[in-house]
Structure 1
Amino acid sequence: MRRRTTDGGFDAAQVRPWNDGLDGLAYGGDYNPEQWPLDVQLEDIELMREAGVNLLSVAIFSWATIEPREGELDWTWLDATLDRLHEAGIRVALATATASPPPWLTRKHPEILPRLADGTVLHQGGRQSYSVTHPVHRDYALAMAGRIAEQYRDHPALALWHVDNEIGCHVPRDYSDAAAAAFRVWLAERYGTVEALNEAWGTAFWSQRYGSFDDVLPPLVAPAHANPTQQLDFDRFSSDSLLDYYRDLRDTLRAITPHVPTTTNLMASTGTKGMDYFSWAPELDVVANDHYTASADRERHVELAFSADLTRGIAGGAPWILMEHSTGAVNWQPRNRAKAPGELLRNSLAHVARGADAVMFFQWRASKAGAEKYHSGMVPHAGTGTDLWRSVVELGQALRALGEVRGSRVRSRAALVMDYPAWWASELDSHPTADVRYTDQLLAWYRELWRLGVTVDVVPPTGALDAYDLVVVPTLYVVTDEGAANVAAAAERGATVVVTYFSGIVDEFDHVRLGGYPGAFRDLLGVRTEEFFPLLEDEAVRVSGSLGAFTADLWTEKSSVAPGVEVLAAYDDGPLPARPALTRRAVPGGGSAWYVATRLEAEGVAAVARAAAAEAGVLPGAPATEVDGLELVRRWSDDGTRSWLFAINHTDAEVGLAEAGTELLTGAEVEKLTVPPGGVRVLRQDLPR
């Protein structure tokens, strides 16, 4: 990879807070005035005031408008836009305008276009038509970022820099010649010698031994399965390359405006696996995330909660920015359905409940042309005489009422361990079954903890686990010695640790840990597996034991347990009758280690999750564990003397809570909190000092 700038003398203490100058929470979205005539732009200002907008992302896709021909720069429209927004009291997250290169650039330099693994070139005509590793594109992108920084370095509306946009969204993996050259440099830096590379990649197999780094290619389409460690390292390299692109742009901005914070909008969710966002977080002055629900998912609010908790985990528990979500339908799903009544408010405040200090949308005004013209906006095609606009204004009022929660944090006693390399490697080819999907178990266990009302932090394997009484480890196929020891230490400290199948199997080089599965966790769990017995399509087994009888599918294991390990459930039928399917080992130090050796149906996961949460002492009181569809989350002040209870009712029935305090959305003092059907209430509660 090729670093062109540096922030070697940078002092983080001089960076002002991203929400400096804002009163309370931030509210707004992407603003694209270049799509509209002046009269509409002037109307926008009045409507923004009505809605309570105070932060906008500007110039994300504006390169071709700013520089329609190479070297011809037009700042007049952007100058006027920022001046108008400042006059209206609206702060700006100003973009580098590099998210989509202008047509003249790709025509002049077609070599910057990215490629698929089969050699297909991805051409101009959409967006992100660039290779982040190509030096020509890097030069042009850094020059554009530098020009914008020089032009607006002292503008009073400038709150923070929005670097590029959803980096890696459309091209998470580039197989161009530029990427191949950068991959070789990355490998040389990682391994030092080609001999070390050969050892790590196991190249003695299939006569793949390399005599020089110059012989190495990305994992292109080949006659047979590509080397799995080569594939895993290319995933790591690609994530690092995209991050390196962000760093170069950020450092260009820092050199000119060292006081202005920088971020880029991540896409942390169960649908984005291309970037290891835990490694990105230290490079961001504030973590920002984009999230969109799937209209076909009837429990999409649960995936939303997971993604918000993941974003908070990436941010290390600090408040973060919801940079994009949608007011209604999007345009890119198979069937794009508008949100139900109240869903806009519930979605938005669920993100706030889980740590967001900003609620923003794509985009301010729905486009009348282009690929995203059917993507909803804060101002819809039908205008302001609509339910959607009234919901946008209502949300602005709610966020103003919740301004005091700014800066507060969520506290959790349960952790869900997530790892992007484990995600990448667990879904490689040539595995015991092609049907393992990493996020399947991740979301299955999260969902049941959500239903129990257990607030969860999503953390990496090497993250601090000291604060957690319950640690769930789903499908951690790749794990380092450090990560495995960290999980074991949590049980030795007294936590209840739950590990699921296909965990601990290989090290960071995708080498099998010999001696029996589950490899790195074999001693912790007291379980030794001789062979995997994945189930055939549509095959299922019965599992029964002290927690009940359940159906399971996809995966079974031929296992035995060490003395003292309790078999909580065994297979009743299938290829391994009477073999252990669920075990528990009491760990010296007071904790325990549970192993789930099959894919349980939802009822089975729920039973195990409840038992483990009860043992760990993290089950909340009623009604959180009694009302399916009631979401309860607390944010806390730094000193712990004040909390804000967010009660989000996803049901069609009123729910009463025996909680007293000040309800912020209505301003009422209550002795008992009532949450209307499909509604949200936020209760401020003070504790005696």
Structure 2
Amino acid sequence: MSNRTLSVPGIAYGGDYNPEQWPEEVWAEDVRLMREAGVNMVSVGIFSWALMEPSEGVYDFSRMDRILGLLHENGIAADLASPTAAPPAWFFRAHPEALPVDHDGRALSYGSRQTFCPSSPAYRAAALRITGAIADRYASHPAVRMWHVHNEYGCHNAACYCDTSAASFRRWLRARYGDDLAALNHAWGTTFWSQWYYDWEEILPPRATGAVPNPTHQLDWRRFCSDELLSLYTAERDVFREAAPTIPATTNFMVMHNFDALDYWRWAPELDVVANDHYLMSADPESQIDIALSGDLMRSLAGGPWLLMEHSTGAVNWQPVNRAKTAGELRRNALAHVAHGADGICYFQWRAAKAGAEQWHSAMLPHAGTDSQIWRDVVRLGADLQALAEVRGSTGTAEVAVVWDWDARWAVELPSQPSEQLRYLEVVRAWYEPLWRTGVAVDFVRPDADLSAYKVVLAPSLYLVDDTGAANLTAFAEAGGSLAIGFHSGAVDENCHVRLGGYPGAFRELLGVRTDELFPLLPGERVALSEGGTGSLWSERVGLAGATAVTSYADGPLAGVPAVTRHGYGAGTAWYVATLPDAETLAGLLGRIRAEAGVAAGRTAPAGVEVVVRRGADADYVFVIDHAGQGAEVPVAAGSVELLSGKPTDGTVTVAPGETAVVREPRQDA
């Protein structure tokens, strides 16, 4: 990360502001209400390209001039966007070749957002032109505190399959393989199905075809698509950086749910402020776990605090059923993001739209206006965040790391796997959940990360791992760490080539096991385990090669075969989990692994009460969030203060049902 920081005091608070959707006489009311709510930053201009550049090379910044002036007069910072996520209609009339083509070869039309081919030279030129005009005009404007580059890269056009994209893909491949076509043929295993390439021009994107496409072809395509969009981000960012070298730049990631288009480990170092959009899924009965997981992943990507760029005050508009948030949920959600490292809380959007595709998406100022529960909650949250200003900049406290890798995620979800039921995020969340329930802090790491700060490293799903990553994890255990690896890990290398000699491939020696055949389970099928509980999704015929069986399959074709093993390796311990245990059984296993490694559970709290600690220079900040709605008392150190009320505590903090407390606790080692 750079040393360019966001110069907004305390916790940033606000949202996307789209005043162009409203008559200008509404703007004065907007800023008055923003001040009432404690808003100190808004994002502007995100979808304003058509208004800023009504025809090619002709600019009209008069509206933005007035907006920025009004914000500055009222002490509200601007996160000013390049509006390049939504090119105007005139651009596509002039450059129809810039429209994207889908997997089936169908050319898509404009009329929504992100309707461009990421490889289009015409799009890139137009995007950099409008970005440059904005940068030149507003680089020294006192309201502008951050550049918001584009919006949600890859949300709707992560891949384009047109001929222009094919040519860009070939250039990317030539760079990756050193212009050596034989190296590509080897990496892709093209002797299979007569796929050998004799000329670079023969290579196409993995378009719709009659059977299963080459897996390494598909994996390299995912890598290319992520890099192609990243090149657009860095190009726009550099335009802003040249005009205003001290103003930080960001774009909004989407670490949530099943969005997996971009390798954010590659993206994060290019951002001055790492930011995320996060929306709850109505069908998730415990969406607070997803908030925690995504927040921990964001903190890990950022290497510290991060910014929540978008979430919702209530319902969204794009799910099959868009439910409103329950009483107190708006506040709990926002403060949970802060607990997991967010130094800014922003929403889409400030004022609910009365027209357009997102008219039924909730906002800080809803259709009902200020006489509404959402508005009262928004104002209360603003006061909360002002009371938490000192929390800004504090960090996490994890002794446990979970391995997260986008290459592994992409590869394990390719077609023709042993089980299409294996979904990367579901497996990782299953392992993460018991740690969350016991208040154990978690960082996420790459396979090749420095692991010296951790006592326990968990790799729930690492199907693909290169030699460097495998050696790094092995070295962690050898040096005294406790490492647990989930099923179907280590199976292939970075080119999706199976590691021969038995599974789990790269980790056989480390784990002291060898599997000769996989037995994935059918949907709904379960296998009993010898020490109690059941396993689902997966089983395999594990043979011991130095490890000790901890649990075995108790029925089915593998009755008596080890299902969980433990192996002393060097000064450490390596565990293999060859099924997906039920939640209680997995919690017990991870509790044992953690306890043996000397990692304590979090503070004692009732079920459904989340306790998270952020560590400051001379104080800890203890967040106690009651998701269960029963209320709780949690022990804290003497001399602590509850920041939201400003009241001292007497060794415990009491949280009312459905509420949140944040305690400043003196550090004994400070």
Q: TM-score, normalised by structure 2?
A: 0.98
Contact 2:438 2:602 in 1 (8 A): no
- 2:235 is the counterpart of 1:248: yes
Contact 1:543 1:550 in 2 (8 A): yes
Counterpart residue number, 1:570: 552
Match of 1:674 among 654, 662, 667: 654
Match of 2:543 among 557, 560, 582: 560
Q: Which amino acid aligns with 2:355?
A: A
Match of 2:5 among 5, 11, 17: 17
Contact 2:305 2:394 in 1 (8 A): yes
Contact 1:540 1:574 in 2 (8 A): no
**Deviations 1:372-431 (Å, cap 9, x if unpaired)?**
000000000000011110000000000000000111111100111000010000011111
5 Å matches for 1:607-622? 607-620=588-601, 622=603
5 Å matches for 1:487-566? 487-545=473-531, 549-563=532-546, 565-566=547-548
Q: Which amino acid aligns with 2:665?
A: Q
SS of the residue 2:529 aligns to: strand
**Deviations 1:443-480 (Å, cap 9, x if unpaired)?**
00111110111111011111121111111101100001
Q: Which amino acid aligns with 2:10?
A: G
Contact 1:453 1:619 in 2 (8 A): no
Q: Which amino acid aligns with 1:578?
A: G
- 2:20 is the counterpart of 1:34: yes
TM-aligned CA deviation for residue 622 of structure 1: 4.4
Of 69-78 and 461-470, deviating more is 69-78
- 2:140 is the counterpart of 1:160: no
SS of the residue 2:118 aligns to: coil
TM-aligned CA deviation for residue 68 of structure 1: 2.2
Contact 2:608 2:627 in 1 (8 A): yes
- 2:292 is the counterpart of 1:313: no
Contact 1:441 1:474 in 2 (8 A): yes
Counterpart residue number, 1:6: none
CA distance in 2, matches of 1:202, 1:16: 45
CA distance in 1, matches of 2:521, 2:392: 49
Match of 1:605 among 556, 571, 586: 586
- 2:619 is the counterpart of 1:632: no
- 2:97 is the counterpart of 1:120: no
Contact 1:113 1:121 in 2 (8 A): yes
Contact 2:53 2:130 in 1 (8 A): no
- 2:259 is the counterpart of 1:272: yes
Counterpart residue number, 2:184: 197
CA distance in 1, matches of 2:239, 2:580: 48
Match of 1:328 among 311, 314, 318: 314
Cα RMSD of the aligned pairs, angstroms, is 1.2
Match of 1:419 among 377, 393, 405: 405
TM-aligned CA deviation for residue 621 of structure 1: 5.0
Q: In percent, how many aligned pairs have the same letter?
A: 51
TM-aligned CA deviation for residue 211 of structure 1: 0.7
- 2:640 is the counterpart of 1:654: no
Aligned residues: 665
TM-aligned CA deviation for residue 687 of structure 1: 2.6
Q: Which amino acid aligns with 1:17?
A: T
TM-aligned CA deviation for residue 440 of structure 1: 1.4
Contact 1:543 1:551 in 2 (8 A): yes
TM-aligned CA deviation for residue 614 of structure 1: 1.4
Contact 1:452 1:619 in 2 (8 A): no
Match of 2:97 among 98, 111, 120: 111
Runs ≥4 in structure 1, deviation > 4 angstroms?
Answer: none
**Which sections of structure 1, spanning at least 5 residues, go unmatched?**
1-11
CA distance in 2, matches of 1:621, 1:78: 49
SS of the residue 2:217 aligns to: helix
CA distance in 1, matches of 2:661, 2:599: 23
- 2:567 is the counterpart of 1:580: no
Q: Which amino acid aligns with 1:652?
A: G
Q: Which amino acid aligns with 2:130?
A: M
- 2:442 is the counterpart of 1:463: no
Contact 1:329 1:337 in 2 (8 A): yes
Contact 2:401 2:458 in 1 (8 A): yes
TM-aligned CA deviation for residue 288 of structure 1: 0.5
**Deviations 1:513-546 (Å, cap 9, x if unpaired)?**
011100011111101000101123332211123x
Contact 1:269 1:310 in 2 (8 A): no
- 2:642 is the counterpart of 1:685: no
CA distance in 1, matches of 2:603, 2:139: 53
**Deviations 1:59-113 (Å, cap 9, x if unpaired)?**
0000011122323321111100000000000111100011100011112111101
CA distance in 2, matches of 1:600, 1:301: 22
Match of 2:223 among 236, 245, 260: 236
Of 419-428 and 269-278, deviating more is 269-278
